[in-house]
């Protein structure tokens, strides 16, 4: 149904292409102008991993003979960098996604862009999809560099135990790429809906922060049903308090994501509140055990894929919604 017009690069010749009712402006030409308009931003995005790699090499390089962890200043610097890096995905939405449409609306150039031969959907997709793909790739690259860097020299901040911490999970290549594309598409949609750059940026930050917090604190725990195991050698006291005799990893294996512990019957059912106030002997008698709920370390990669999956799907949905919004509304 969509007939792409024959090679339109023939300079000034008056083409008969326009008389073909379904002729559309070819993607190739739109790509050319997208590059011209976005090249600075895209170059900056690509440069970021390169710059970061150099910075990391500097910070991680051993000084003299001392081990990295002996230098508290560098440990502190590393922690600071990790915290800062949490913010980087939102920059994609703030500085590339939100202004994409909002700035053109404010400056009035939408009234130029949307009255030419190319339709709005094509115009939007051309300026969005390549940028998003490039962002995802750069983010994945940055994530790989970070993974190397954070594990360099056996730094204790990244360990099998600490890998599930939000600030580390988020920096893995797949989740990082997912959050960057989500941030971008969120900014894009909000910019298209609000049409003013600064309010759109603020809304992007707000929505992104809410989503990230919700994911880190709640949703990520439940991507797959958690495993339940009893912890051996525990001592349950009267009133329901308990102490551990072994480390959890003996039960769960290395690198688990601990979701919680509670008292429960042998079949796993939790105790009710009233039942907690029994004496220790009662617990022993009924073989009450300490149950622990966790995601095993073996699922770490799987969870990254799941997170990337739903983030990518949501990003695509947001871009689709943006197409709807720009076609429905005025310039």
Partner 1 sequence: MNLIESSGLAKRYLRTWALRECTLAIPAGHVVALVGPNGAGKTTLLNLAAGLLRPSAGRISVLGGETPGSDAARRRIGFVAQDAPLYGHLRAGEMLNLARNLNLTWDEKRARSRLADLGIPLARKVRQLSGGQRAQLALTIALAKEPDVLILDEPLASLDPLARHDFMGSLMAAVAEDGLSVIFSSHVVAELERIADYLVVLNEGRLQLAGDVEVLLSEHRILTGPGGEMVLDSSRIAVVQATRAGAQAHLLVRTSARDDAAPAGWLFSPATLEDLVLAYLRDPKASVLPGPDLTAAAEGQAVRA
* Residues contributing to the site for partner 1 (CB under 8 A): 5, 8, 11-12, 14-15, 17-18, 21-25, 29-30, 32-33, 36-37, 107-109, 111-119, 123, 328-331
Helix (H) or strand (E) holding 14: none
Distance CA 56, CA 106 (A): 39
117 vs 243, which CB is nearer to partner 1?
Answer: 117
The least distance separating partner 1 from the CB of residue 139, rounded to whole angstroms, comes to 27
The least distance separating partner 1 from the CB of residue 206, rounded to whole angstroms, comes to 25
132 vs 326, which CB is nearer to partner 1?
Answer: 326
The least distance separating partner 1 from the CB of residue 5, rounded to whole angstroms, comes to 6
Based on DSSP, count helices (H) and strands (E) in the chain, helices before strands.
11, 7
Distance CA 302, CA 40 (A): 36
Q: In 10 A of CB 286, how many CB atoms?
A: 13
Distance CA 126, CA 29 (A): 10
The least distance separating partner 1 from the CB of residue 110, rounded to whole angstroms, comes to 8
126 vs 138, which CB is nearer to partner 1?
Answer: 126
Distance CA 139, CA 49 (A): 8
116 vs 274, which CB is nearer to partner 1?
Answer: 116
36 vs 287, which CB is nearer to partner 1?
Answer: 36
22 vs 272, which CB is nearer to partner 1?
Answer: 22
Q: In 10 A of CB 151, how many CB atoms?
A: 14
Distance CA 257, CA 281 (A): 32
Please report, for residues 82, 170, 209, the alpha-carbon distance to residue 215 in angstroms, rounded to integers and kept in the order given: 18, 10, 10
User: What is the bridge-based pairing of β-strands 289-295 and 235-236?
Assistant: unpaired
The least distance separating partner 1 from the CB of residue 204, rounded to whole angstroms, comes to 23
Residues 6+ apart with CB under 8 A from 28: none
What Rg value do the Cα atoms of the chain yield, rounded?
27
The least distance separating partner 1 from the CB of residue 160, rounded to whole angstroms, comes to 50
The least distance separating partner 1 from the CB of residue 197, rounded to whole angstroms, comes to 15
Please report, for residues 31, 174, 263, 303, the alpha-carbon distance to residue 225 in angstroms, rounded to integers and kept in the order given: 44, 21, 19, 12
Please report, for residues 12, 27, 294, the alpha-carbon distance to residue 113 in angstroms, rounded to integers and kept in the order given: 21, 15, 53
Q: Report residue 145 CA to chain centroid gap.
A: 16
The least distance separating partner 1 from the CB of residue 202, rounded to whole angstroms, comes to 22
137 vs 193, which CB is nearer to partner 1?
Answer: 193
Say if CB 140 and CB 177 are below 8 A apart: yes
26 vs 226, which CB is nearer to partner 1?
Answer: 26
């Amino acid at each position: 149904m969509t007939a792409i017009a024959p090679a339109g690069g023939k300079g000034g010749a008056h083409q008969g292409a326009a008389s073909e009712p379904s002729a559309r402006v070819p993607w190739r030409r739109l790509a050319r102008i997208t590059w011209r308009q976005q090249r600075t931003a895209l170059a900056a995005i690509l440069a970021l991993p390169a710059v970061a790699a150099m910075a990391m090499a500097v910070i991680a390089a051993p000084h003299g003979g001392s081990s990295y962890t002996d230098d508290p200043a560098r440990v502190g610097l590393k922690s600071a960098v990790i915290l800062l890096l949490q913010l980087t995905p939102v920059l994609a939405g703030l500085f590339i996604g939100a202004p994409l449409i909002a700035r053109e609306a404010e400056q009035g150039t939408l009234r130029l862009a949307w009255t030419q031969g190319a339709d709005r959907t094509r115009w939007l997709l051309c300026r969005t999809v390549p940028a998003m793909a490039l962002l995802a790739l750069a983010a994945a690259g940055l994530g790989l560099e970070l993974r190397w860097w954070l594990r360099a020299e056996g730094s204790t901040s990244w360990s099998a135990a600490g890998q599930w911490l939000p600030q580390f999970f988020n920096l893995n290549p797949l989740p990082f790429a997912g959050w960057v594309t989500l941030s971008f598409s969120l900014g894009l949609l909000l910019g298209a809906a609000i049409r003013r750059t600064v309010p759109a940026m603020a809304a992007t930050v707000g929505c992104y922060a809410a989503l990230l917090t919700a994911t880190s604190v709640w949703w990520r725990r439940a991507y797959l049903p958690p495993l339940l195991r009893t912890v051996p050698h525990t001592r349950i006291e009267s009133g329901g308090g308990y102490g551990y005799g072994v480390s959890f990893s003996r039960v769960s294996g290395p690198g688990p994501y601990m979701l919680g512990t509670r008292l429960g019957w042998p079949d796993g059912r939790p105790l009710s509140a009233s039942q907690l106030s029994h004496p220790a002997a009662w617990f022993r008698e009924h073989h009450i055990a300490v149950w622990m709920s966790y995601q095993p370390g073996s699922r770490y990669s799987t969870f990254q894929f799941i997170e990337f999956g739903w983030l990518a799907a949501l990003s695509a949905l947001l871009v689709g919604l943006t197409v709807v919004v720009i076609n429905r509304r005025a310039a």
